[in-house]
Chain A
Amino acid sequence: MTADTISTILVSGIVLGSVYALMASGLSLVWTTLGIFNFAHGALMTLGAYMAWTISDAAGLDLWLAAGIAIAVAAVIGVGILMERLLIRPFYDRRDILLITVMTTLAAMIFLEKGMQLAWGARLKQLRPIVPGNVNLLGTTISAQEALIVVLAPVLLGLLWFFLRNSRIGRGIRAVGQNPAAAKLIGIDVSGLFIVTFALSAGLAALTGILLGSVRLVTPTFGAEPLVKALIIVIFGGLGSLGGTIAAAYLIGLLEAALIFFIGIYWAPSMIFVLLIAILLIRPQGLLGKVER
């Protein structure tokens, strides 16, 4: 294996890992706090990309790019909050909330995908890159936009980590995830923080979509593949640990890059599943997850 090969695998693995880390952290946050999986997370990502495309393309000015991003993220956060209200909140007191919300969020995913198809059509779209041109990273050339993703992902995840660790609301979110009854008894507004969590997660999904929308082509099912990867990553990283999720995201990104290089793009996704199953047989609690009770 030449140095060139290693560099290619490493760089494309890190690009993939960055995208997955952004996607999976939002999914993981909702899982640890609300105890549900949001299957519409990928559709929220797609919605972010379409919104940003509409706003920035119509304006056609660089100035509008930032505004487009901000408005798109805000709109997706709004949709996320609406989803929490309509599809998750009515079931909080039910024991089978996990299964019910699999159905409701899957329904939301289909609804959003079809809605986006109606609104934006099936024609492929691509966002203008936030930063144009190419960059040389470790001897491999990638687009500057991909480099931006590689740089932004750790920054955003670092901010998220800092927020959860040190801010009053962030600590409250962790408390609500770990023991909602005890959180209530110290005066925390549990359902209020559920909304904040969902909003944060939707915002992360939108940003991922906007960043990726100029690297890949945007279609109504643009978010489906990243969603499946993010699901794998959250389970693989060990349910309930943000650190584990992020580590797993980069690991799976690198693994996928290596598999694509060696066995081709056709079999790589299924091989990831095979490896995941094998690893979960040995470590049922996931990569960094702790054994429950």
Chain B
Amino acid sequence: MKPKAHALELRELRAGYDAYDVLQGISLHVGAGERVGLFGPNGHGKTTLLNAISKIIVPRSGSVSFMGEALESLSARRIVERGLIHVPQANQLFPDMEIMETLELAAFTERARRDRNANLDYVLGLFPRLAERRRQQCKTLSGGERQMLSIGVGLMCAPRMLMLDEPTLGLSPKLKQELASAIGEISKRGIPLLLIEQDISFVLSLVDRMYFVDHGEIAREIDRGSDVDHEEIMDMYFGGHAAP
């Protein structure tokens, strides 16, 4: 059963760079409170998809709606104001700014500023390591710390929905686990998630449903309930059309 009002709904979204269309018409939805994964080989449009939703790039055609509101005419800033927050891949953030400064700044919109103190407490509780290093500059952080800060920055924007682009890219298994539990914690608050991840077991442990993105299209939709075995997923990854 699908919920009535989707948090996010895309219809036939096309976008790309210069003359090249990376997204060949993507349709998908994320229900209220739902956690959805996007996976698939690199360079097949997952990051472009998030960029097109948050208006880092302007889509060529198709529609995006968030909580029932069409986003076509809205700028990146307005979309953040609505609460649709994109945490980009390997975000370098602001190299010369300190952790606390960065978190405080991230509550930039009017709406986010109202909840600033509560959100700050929440982020520092979720990632105690950020609290320990509050005066440290972003450029001196390790990969894991930077990823934590990146998610923390997203949370400071007072999200009504979070889109995370490979939050565990290049991290050790131990750190991955730490971040996975933090992300699980966040989704318990009822914040819908759209999560890009390469690590299948990681993404399976966190989401209700997944889309497999291939050549700029949704090649498959996989419910967690439906039993897809690991081999089948590997086949999809490595162009398994030839597989028996």
Chain A residues close to B by CB (< 8 Å)? 168, 171-172, 174-175, 178-179, 181-189
Contact partners of A175 in chain B: CB under 8 A = 94, 97, 105
Q: What are 24 A-to-B residue pairs whose CB atoms are below 8 Å? A: A171-B97, A172-B105, A172-B108, A174-B94, A174-B96, A174-B97, A175-B97, A179-B95, A182-B93, A182-B153, A184-B76, A184-B77, A185-B54, A185-B56, A185-B80, A186-B105, A186-B106, A186-B108, A186-B156, A187-B76, A187-B108, A187-B109, A188-B77, A189-B77
B86 at the binding interface (Cβ < 8 Å): yes
CB < 8 Å A-B pair total: 60
Interface centre among A181, A182, A188 (most CB of B within 10 A): A182
B194 to chain A, nearest CB (A): 14
Contact, CB under 8 Å: A186 / B92: no
Contact partners of B61 in chain A: CB under 8 A = none
> In the assembly, what is the distance between CA of A183 and CA of B56, in Å?
11
B112 at the binding interface (Cβ < 8 Å): yes
A189 (CB) vs chain B CBs: closest residue = B77
Contact, CB under 8 Å: A178 / B105: no
Contact, CB under 8 Å: A186 / B95: no
B16 at the binding interface (Cβ < 8 Å): no
Interface residue SS majority, chain A: helix
B235 at the binding interface (Cβ < 8 Å): no
Q: Give chain B interface residues in 98-129, CB to chain A under 8 Å.
A: 101, 104-106, 108-109, 112
Selected from A179, A183, A185, A189, the residue in CB contact (under 8 A) with B85 is: A185
Selected from B87, B93, B97, B108, the residue in CB contact (under 8 A) with A168 is: B108
Contact partners of B85 in chain A: CB under 8 A = 185
Q: Give chain B interface residues in 44-80, CB to chain A under 8 Å.
A: 54, 56, 76-77, 80
B175 to chain A, nearest CB (A): 21
Contact, CB under 8 Å: B106 / A181: no
B37 at the binding interface (Cβ < 8 Å): no
B51 (CB) vs chain A CBs: closest residue = A181
Known: A187-B109, A187-B112, A189-B77. A182 touches B86 (CB 8 A): no
> In the assembly, what is the distance between CA of A179 and CA of B88, in Å?
12
Chain B residues close to A by CB (< 8 Å)? 54, 56, 76-77, 80-81, 85-88, 91-97, 101, 104-106, 108-109, 112, 153, 156-157
Contact, CB under 8 Å: B157 / A187: yes
Contact partners of B95 in chain A: CB under 8 A = 178-179
Extra pairs beyond A182-B88, A184-B77 (19, CB < 8 Å): A168-B105, A172-B108, A174-B97, A175-B97, A178-B95, A178-B97, A179-B92, A179-B95, A184-B76, A185-B54, A185-B85, A186-B105, A186-B156, A186-B157, A187-B80, A187-B81, A187-B109, A187-B157, A189-B77
Contact, CB under 8 Å: A178 / B96: yes
> In the assembly, what is the distance between CA of A179 and CA of B91, in Å?
9
> In the assembly, what is the distance between CA of A8 and CA of B85, in Å?
59
Interface centre among B92, B96, B109, B157 (most CB of A within 10 A): B96
Contact partners of A179 in chain B: CB under 8 A = 92-95
> In the assembly, what is the distance between CA of A181 and CA of B56, in Å?
7
> In the assembly, what is the distance between CA of A186 and CA of B106, in Å?
6
Contact partners of B105 in chain A: CB under 8 A = 168, 171-172, 175, 186
Contact, CB under 8 Å: B96 / A186: no
A186 (CB) vs chain B CBs: closest residue = B106
